[in-house]
Amino acid sequence: MSGIDTLPPLREVIAAHGLSARKSLGQNFLLDLNLTAKIARSAGDLTGCDVLEIGPGPGGLTRGLLAEGARRVVAVEKDARCLPALAEIAAAYPGRLEVLNADALDLDWAAHLQPPVKIVANLPYNVGTELLVRWLTPPVWPPLWDSLTLMFQREVADRIVARPGGKAYGRLAVLAQWRCDARVVMGLPPEAFTPPPKVSSAVVHLTALPQPRYPADPDVLQRVVAKAFNQRRKMLRAALKGLVPDIEARILAAGLTPTDRAEQVPIEGFCALARQIAAG
Ligand code: SAM
Atom of ligand 1 at shortest range from CA of 76: 25
Q: What is the dihedral of CA 111, 113, 115, 117, to 10 degrees?
A: -120
> Residue 106 half-sphere exposure, CB side, CA atoms within 13 Å?
6
pLDDT value at position 206? 98
Q: What is the pLDDT of residue 233?
A: 78
Q: What is the pLDDT of residue 87?
A: 98
The CA-based dihedral angle spanning residues 135, 126, 156, 42, taken in that order and rounded to the nearest 10 degrees: 60
| DSSP β-bridge partners for residue 207 | 147, 181
Indicate which residue's Cα is closest to atom 14 of ligand 1: 57
The HSE-up count of residue 25 (CA atoms within 13 Å, CB side) is 21
**43 CB near ligand 1 (under 6 Å):** no
Does pLDDT of 103 surpass 90?
yes
Average pLDDT, stretch 195-201? Answer: 96
Any atom of ligand 1 within 6 Å of the Cβ of 27? yes
The percentage of the chain sitting over the pLDDT mark of 90, rounded to a whole number, equals 94
Is residue 190 scored above 90 in pLDDT?
Answer: yes
pLDDT at residue 6 in the model: 84
Query: In this model, does residue 195 exceed pLDDT 80?
Result: yes
Residue 2 has pLDDT above 60, yes or no: no
Chain mean pLDDT for the chain: 95
If DSSP codes are grouped into helix, strand and coil, which group holds residue 266? coil
Q: Which atom of ligand 1 is nearest to the CA of 28?
A: 9
The pLDDT value recorded for residue 126 is 80
Q: What is the pLDDT of residues 71-84, one digit of tens each?
A: 999 999 999 999 99
Residue 73: strand pairing partners? 51, 97
Q: What is the pTM of this model?
A: 0.95
- Write out pLDDT tens, residues 15-34: 999 999 999 999 999 999 99
Split at pLDDT 50, 70, 90, the class of 85 is very high
Return the pLDDT at 146. Answer: 98
Closest atom of ligand 1 to CA, residue 27: 8
Rounded distance between C-alpha atoms, residue 198 and residue 236, angstroms: 35
Q: Chain-centre distance of CA 133, in angstroms?
A: 8
Atom of ligand 1 minimally distant from the CA of 126:
20
30 lines ligand 1 (CB under 6 A): yes
Instruction: Grade residue 91 by pLDDT with cuts at 50, 70 and 90.
Output: very high
User: In angstroms, what is the span from residue 261 Cα to ligand 1's centroid?
Assistant: 37
More confident residue, 48 or 125: 48
Is the predicted pLDDT of residue 4 greater than 80, yes or no? Answer: no
| Nearest atom in ligand 1 to 151's CA | 9
Of the listed ranges 162-176, 227-241, 255-269, the one predicted with least confidence: 227-241
Q: What is the mean pLDDT of the segment spanning 130-141?
A: 93
Question: How distant, in Å, are the alpha carbons of 176, 180, 222, 271 from that of 275?
Answer: 18, 20, 12, 6
- Ligand 1 contacts CB of residue 64 (under 6 A): no
State the pLDDT at residue 1.
Answer: 52
Nearest CA to ligand 1 atom 19: 25
User: Is 218 close to ligand 1, i.e. is its CB under 6 Å away?
Assistant: no
| Cα(48) to centroid(ligand 1), Å | 25
